[in-house]
């Protein structure tokens, strides 16, 4: 189980760092022009904090795999992370419109890869909690 926590830790830290390219990749400079200053800054600041918490989740999994798998507190943290990533998996299918990926090869691949990743996270965290 600890190996899975290490894999998750590295993966989440990489995912967090990928957020750095979001503004350029998604062309936020142009796309967000019509938004008020408040909404533009909320997009940027919330993206930063999402990336930060994902990075910290990864760091926790990477540096504290033993504690997460062997202590009551670790199992409780796994429950919380399992709930968080279960909601994220739900949003993958019901929060985003399928028109964003259906019929688009690259976007469909990304949808499948991340759906599998959210499922993997759920499997590890829930299995650890229930063990």
The whole-number pLDDT of residue 121 equals 98
Q: Residue 37: pLDDT band by 50, 70, 90 thresholds?
A: very high
- Quick: pLDDT tens for 45-88: 999 999 999 999 999 999 999 999 999 999 999 999 999 999 99
Q: How far is CA 124 from the centre of its chain?
A: 14
* Residue 123: both structure tokens together: 């499997």
Give the pair of three-digit tokens for residue 93.
């299918």
Mean pLDDT of 27-55: 96
Give me the pLDDT at residue 123, please: 98
- Residue 81 shares a structural domain with residue 57: no
Of the candidates 67, 89, 119, which is a domain's last residue?
A: 67
Cα–Cα distance for residue pair 124/80, rounded to 1 Å? 12
Domain count, the chain: 2
Instruction: Measure the CA–CA gap between 23 and 47, rounded to whole angstroms.
Output: 9
Instruction: Indicate if the alpha-carbon torsion angle 68, 122, 80, 53 is positive or negative.
Output: positive
Same domain? 97 vs 61: no
In a shared domain, residues 79 and 131? yes
């Amino acid at each position: 189980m600890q190996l899975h926590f290490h894999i998750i830790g590295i993966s989440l830290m990489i995912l967090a760092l990928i957020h750095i390219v979001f503004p350029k990749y998604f062309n936020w400079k142009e796309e967000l022009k019509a938004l008020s200053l408040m909404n533009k800054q909320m997009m940027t600041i919330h993206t930063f904090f999402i990336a930060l918490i994902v990075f910290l989740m990864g760091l926790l999994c990477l540096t504290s795999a033993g504690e997460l798998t062997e202590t009551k507190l670790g199992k409780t943290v796994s429950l919380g992370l399992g709930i968080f990533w279960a909601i994220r998996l739900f949003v993958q299918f019901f929060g985003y419109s399928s028109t964003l990926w259906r019929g688009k090869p690259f976007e469909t691949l990304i949808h499948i890869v991340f759906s599998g990743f959210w499922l993997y996270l759920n499997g590890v965290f829930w299995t650890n909690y229930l063990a």
